[in-house]
Amino acid sequence: MSLQLIIGNKNYSSWSMRAWVLMTQLRMRFEEVYVRLDLAPDSAFRREVARHSPAGRVPVLVDEGFAVWDTLAIAEYLHDKFPQAGVWPRDSKARARARSIVAEMHSGFGALRSHCPMNIEASLPEVGARILAEQPAVGADLTRIDAMWCDALTASGGPFLFGDFCAADAFYAPVAMRIRSYRLPMSPQAAAYVERLATAPAVARWIADALAEADFIPEDEPYRTAR
């Protein structure tokens, strides 16, 4: 098998989730290579990932020795390699809009990411309520995401953002996981999309794998001391 995808822990690694879910949902064959998250300077994680990527982060897509190590770059590489797979919508305007909201996810929503790190196994509704009360920027991020999702769903008719599952859904899957873990409020249309996304086959598989992990990484657990 020519494609390998190097990922970190499924419970915590939101960036890994994007690429894995996209490739799995679109039925691209690849070998999953798991490396336990550990950001210590000379950890096995850093040594293994450095073999493939100078950035030293996951995910990394490896195609017969050629490495791609950014999730947006991975999506574009997969689109070029499998142009009929559906990485992006076929319609040019829908494709441009999908790329726009993916780029917005890729570079934005720092408050939500910082204060609500992905933790699929955890149930943290009290933490979510406290974050919303103390961090208005998180609420602003959620308002923008809600509006973005509803606009796309209304235009496409669903069930996913642009009708069929595409890179936009894969990139926002980790956001949906945060909304579920922290019980963050969304409009009825956006909340229904979160639950549909969670039942998409690839997302459901990722969630099941995350729940089965027995690992606990303190650096990724700002709100708990044990699992």
Report pLDDT digits (tens) over 107-157.
999 999 999 999 999 999 999 999 999 999 999 999 999 999 999 999 999
Which position has the token pair 């769903």? 153
Residue type, 25: Q
pLDDT band at 54 (very low <50, low <70, confident <90, very high): confident
Report pLDDT digits (tens) over 25-49.
999 999 999 999 988 888 888 888 8
Q: How far apart are CA 145 and CA 186, in angstroms?
A: 9
CATH class, domain 3-86, is alpha beta
DSSP state of 161: T
What Å distances lie between residue 159 and 44, 45, 58, 162, 192, CA to CA? 41, 37, 29, 8, 10
Q: What's the pLDDT at 52?
A: 86
Indicate the pairing of strand 66-68 with strand 3-7.
Answer: unpaired
CATH class, domain 92-211, is mainly alpha
Extended beta strands in the chain, E state:
3-7, 31-34, 60-63, 66-68
Q: What's the pLDDT at 49?
A: 87
Domain boundaries, the chain: 3-86, 92-211
Would the CATH topology of 3-86 be identical to that of 92-211? no
Looking from the CA of 185 toward its CB, the CA atoms found within 13 Å total 9
Q: Is the pLDDT of residue 50 over 90?
A: no
Q: Is the pLDDT of residue 204 over 80?
A: yes
DSSP state of 209: H
Show the CA angle centred on residue 114, arms to residues 8 and 76, nearest 5°. Answer: 55
pLDDT, averaged across the chain: 96
Percent of the chain clearing pLDDT 70 (strictly above): 100
Q: How far apart are CA 15 and CA 75, in angstroms?
A: 12
What Å distances lie between residue 19 and 6, 7, 23, 110, 157, CA to CA? 10, 9, 6, 20, 25
Q: How far apart are CA 16 and CA 97, in angstroms?
A: 23
For the chain, give the number of residues.
Answer: 227
Mean pLDDT across the stretch 8-31? 98
Report pLDDT digits (tens) over 62-85.
999 999 999 999 999 999 999 999
Q: How far apart are CA 212 and CA 154, in angstroms?
A: 35
Report pLDDT digits (tens) over 183-198.
999 999 999 999 999 9
Name residues whose C-beta falls within 8 Å of residue 227's C-beta, 6 or more positions apart in sequence.
121, 122, 214, 216, 221
Tokens standing for 142? Answer: 């959620």
Least confident of 51-55, 104-108, 126-130: 51-55
pLDDT band at 1 (very low <50, low <70, confident <90, very high): low
How would you label 19-43 residue by residue, b for 16+ Cβ within 10 Å and e otherwise?
bbbbbbbbeeebeebbbebbeeeee
Which comes out higher in pLDDT, residue 51 or 135?
135
